[in-house]
């Protein structure tokens, strides 16, 4: 019988463990990513990033700041 392991919300949406117990992010096996690109590596699941950003713009995420300062450029979320 197969069991499904729930991953923490800090992982991108749709993250899972494969049959061997390896982590899969954005449809990519992280061991394969490490072999190809080396470590440490920053991996971003674009669909998850866009979904979470959209939630932030519409107020769907608690604690998200309305103003972000990035390298001297001020970005506003509309108010």
- Using alpha carbons, select from 28, 69, 33, 76 the residue that is nearest to residue 48: 28
Q: Which tops the pLDDT comparison, 7 or 3?
A: 7
Q: Evaluate whether residue 22 is within a structural domain.
A: yes
Burial of 40 (0-12, 13-18, 19+ CB in 10 A): exposed
**What predicted TM-score, i.e. pTM, was given to this entire model?**
0.59
Q: Evaluate whether residue 44 is within a structural domain.
A: yes
Q: How many domains does the chain fold into?
A: 1
Reported as a single tens digit per residue, the pLDDT across 18-74 is 999 999 998 899 999 999 999 998 888 988 888 888 887 766 545 444 444 454 554
Containing structural domain, residue 32: 16-76
Q: Evaluate whether residue 64 is within a structural domain.
A: yes
Q: Evaluate whether residue 29 is within a structural domain.
A: yes
Give the Cα separation of 13 and 47 in Å (integer): 8
Q: Evaluate whether residue 28 is within a structural domain.
A: yes
Residue 46 carries which DSSP code? H
Tokens representing 22?
A: 């390896």
Whether 1 has a pLDDT exceeding 50, the answer reads no
Tokens representing 73?
A: 């450029």
Q: Evaluate whether residue 10 is within a structural domain.
A: no
């Amino acid at each position: 019988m197969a069991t499904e392991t729930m991953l923490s919300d800090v992982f991108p949406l749709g993250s899972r463990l494969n049959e061997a117990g390896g982590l899969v992010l954005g449809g990519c096996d992280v061991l394969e990513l490490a072999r190809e690109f080396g470590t440490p590596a920053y991996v971003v699941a674009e669909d998850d990033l866009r979904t979470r950003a959209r939630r932030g713009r519409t107020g769907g995420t608690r604690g998200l700041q309305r103003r972000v300062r990035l390298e001297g450029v001020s970005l506003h979320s509309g108010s």
